[in-house]
Structure 1
């Protein structure tokens, strides 16, 4: 098993327990996307401060978050979209019902076990994650995302390049392709 910073490992174990609780209820597991997925795939080379999740059944996921000790911050100046666990110091937020607005191939998602006994969780594919980073880069609002996309590709040279090309082209509105990620 990879070695991550302790706070991230704790958050992954908690996410695994929440994901398994959803599956035990006969519900689909939420999908880890965004910065936490980047940290997962880069083995901690790029760190994040929150976990972005996608789930088509947000009310049930929020019930599980509460059962696992998460609270929704309230009061002036507090974000109300996310959930905070007082002991973890990491926020969890449901950012959509389906990764990349349903454009990500669910068959490519990674089912991960081993972070908590008897649990598994789902992570978006590395190709779709790279494409997401390139889409954000192409928007002009997140220049650092090119570096994240390139780091992900360097660490995962076995990606499906044809799929990556298709996904990067889509997410960047045709402005970039897989060759731009390779640098």
Structure 2
């Protein structure tokens, strides 16, 4: 039995296909590929946007959580910083206070017999002494001792007054300290 054969009808003859026809066929094929590639890129960008939106929402919620934690700990942070500042100030005074006490003790130790302190003020660079002396020799001894003290740069007698009513010499002395 003979096989059914379907006849094919080709209205275009391949032999006569020109360069223009081949170019149009090539351009349509490449155009389809470009359109498909563009659609894939656009769809990928569209889907990636949802990923970025989800990450943005997650970051905003994380920031809100961190803000709540920071707000909760704000008072403790302020107390901690205040404590650190007070410790720093105390350590500064502790370091300079020991030196100041030594200088004051040394100055008081230089006082000869017949001398009484009315006022003794120690600043960063100066010592101001208001004192009464019974004898001029006590004043001379104290001033010479003060001049020879290693931490004193120079000594100035600011005021000297002889009080005849109580037989005392009232003196104001300023001594400049050496910088350490």
The two structures have a TM-score, normalised by structure 2, of: 0.26
Q: Which has the larger radius of gyration?
A: 2
Asked which structure has the greater RCO (Cα within 8 Å, sep 6+), the reply is 1
The two structures have a TM-score, normalised by structure 1, of: 0.26
Bigger proportion of residues as helix: 2
